Amino acid sequence: MRNKIFLNKNVLIGYYSVLFSLLLLTWARQDFIPMSIRVGYLALVFMPVINRVYLFFPCLVLFLTASLLSFAGYTFMPTEASIYLLITVVFAFIAPKGCRDYKYPYLVLSLVLIMTVLVNLLSSGQIEKVSYSFLLLLFLPVTVREKEKEYVTDIIPKLFVLSTTSCAVLTLLNQQLLIKESFDYERLISGSLNYTCCTLGIGFVLALREFLKPSTQKFSKVFYAFCMMTLLLTVIFEASRGAMLAIVVSSVICILNQNLRIRTKIFVVISAILFVFVLYNNQVLDLLIYRVQSDTGTGTGRTEIWADKLGQHFNSFSLLNFLFGIGYEHTWNLGGYGHNFIGCHNDFVAFLIEYGIIGFVLFLSMIIYPIHVAKSKNVRSEILPLIAFIVITCMTLEPFSMGYLPYCFLMLYIYLRATDQSVASHNNVL
C-alpha cells in the first residue's frame, strides 16, 4: 500500500510538482538547512522510484540540475555526487531484470573510469569527482530497461528544459534585470558562471529541438518558445561567449538537420534575426558585444593557458606521463607564472595532460561513440547538435574532467537515444 498511490499518473505529476516548487523556494536562500530536512526531502523525491526504478534518472535531471544551478548556500537537494552514486548502486541492484539488454559503451566508460581512479590515486592519493561521475554513467543505465528506454529518452529533454528554464526565470527575477533602467558592465551570476550558462545553453538546444519537431503540439510550441527566449536572455545578460558560441553552432546544426520544409526553416531563421535585432536596439547585447570586442584574441587568456600547460608537460617528457598523464591535482599546479593553480579551460587538453594519450583517445571515443552506434538518420539528426554543443564547450571548459554532473546527464541521454532503435510510438509506461 505504501507506494500504490503513486501508480496514478496524475498523482505522481502533482506530487513531483509540489516537491519541485519547494526546491525552487530555496533556490536563492543562504541560511542553513538542517541535514535531517535535506535527507527527508531526498527520501520524498525517490520514494515513488522504488516501484518505478526507470524514473530515477529523470528525477536526477529535474531536481539535481536545478540544485546545481542555484544561488543557495544550501538547497533541499544535496549536490554531492558520492551521495547519488550510492543511491544509484542501490537502485541498480533492485532494478528489474532486463535492464542490460541494449547496447551501451560500458567498455569505453569502464576504461576511462579505471584510468581516472588509478592515475589520481597514484599521483595524489585521492579519487577525484571525475571518477564518481563516470561511475554514475556506468550504473545509471542499469535502471532503465529496453522497453522503458523510449519513454525515458522522450521525457528527459522536457525535464531538462523545465529545470533550466525555471532557474533562468529565477535568475532574472532574483537580479531584477527586467526592471533595471541602466545596464552596467557587470555579470550577475557568482561562482562557476560559464558552467551555469552552458547548462542553460543545453536547455536551449533541447527546447529548440522539441520546438522544431512536427509532432509537438501548438501549446507546447508556445511553451518551448518561451523557454528559448528566457534561457537565451539569461545567457546574453551574463555575456558568456563560450555558451553563446555553443548555442549558435548547435542551433544551426539542429535547424539544418531537422526534417522541415524550406519555408519553415527560413521562417525560423528570420524570427531569430528579428529577435536579435530587437535585443540589439534595446542595448541588451551591449555587455556581450563589449566582452567580444575587448578580447585580445586569446579567449581571455585561454590559448595562453593551453600553450603554457602543454609546453610544461611535454618539456618534462617521460614515456609514463605521455601514456598515462600526471593526474588532476598536478595538472592544476602545472604551468608558468600566472597559470599555475588553475585548470586547463579545455577538456581535451585536460584529458591529454591528466590521463595521457590513452586517456585522451578514450575521451574522444566516448564522445564519438553515439554517432557510430546510431543507425537511424532521425536519431543522428537529434544527437548531432548535442554532441556539437559538448565539443564546443569542452574547448573552453572542463565539464567532464571536473565531474560536472549536468554534462554527465546529457551524455547519458545521448547514449540512450543513440541506442534506442525503436521506431514505434512512445509507450505510456507511466
| pLDDT tens digits, 192-201 | 788 889 999 9
| pLDDT tens digits, 227-283 | 999 999 889 888 788 889 999 999 999 988 877 777 777 877 888 788 778 877 777
Q: Which of 337, 369, 364, 336 shows the shortest CA–CA distance to 352?
A: 364
Instruction: Report whether 36 contacts 77 (CB < 8 A).
Output: no
| pLDDT tens digits, 77-87 | 888 888 888 88
* Residue ranges of domains in the chain: 4-295+361-418
How would you label 294-318 residue by residue, b for 16+ Cβ within 10 Å and e otherwise? Answer: eeeeebbebebbbebbbebbeeeee
Residue position matching grid coordinates 585548470 = 343
Distances 251 to 133, 175, 208, 263, 424 between C-alpha atoms, Å: 27, 27, 7, 17, 27
Average pLDDT over residues 413-417: 93
Q: Can you give the length of the chain in residues?
A: 430
Q: Which of 55, 110, 102 shows the shortest CA–CA distance to 419?
A: 102
143 pLDDT above the threshold of 60: yes
2 pLDDT above the threshold of 50: no
Q: Which of 54, 64, 143 shows the shortest CA–CA distance to 430?
A: 54
DSSP for 377-394? Answer: HHHHHHHHHHHHHHHHHH
Average pLDDT over residues 114-124: 92
Cell for 283?
542595448
Hey, how many other C-beta atoms are within 10 angstroms of the C-beta on 271? 11
Q: How much is the pTM?
A: 0.88
Is 352 or 374 the better-scoring residue by pLDDT? 352
384 pLDDT above the threshold of 90: yes
Cell for 211?
520546438
Instruction: Report whether 250 contacts 228 (CB < 8 A).
Output: no
Cα angle 165, 166, 172; round to 5 = 85
Q: Which of 42, 46, 38 shows the shortest CA–CA distance to 3?
A: 46
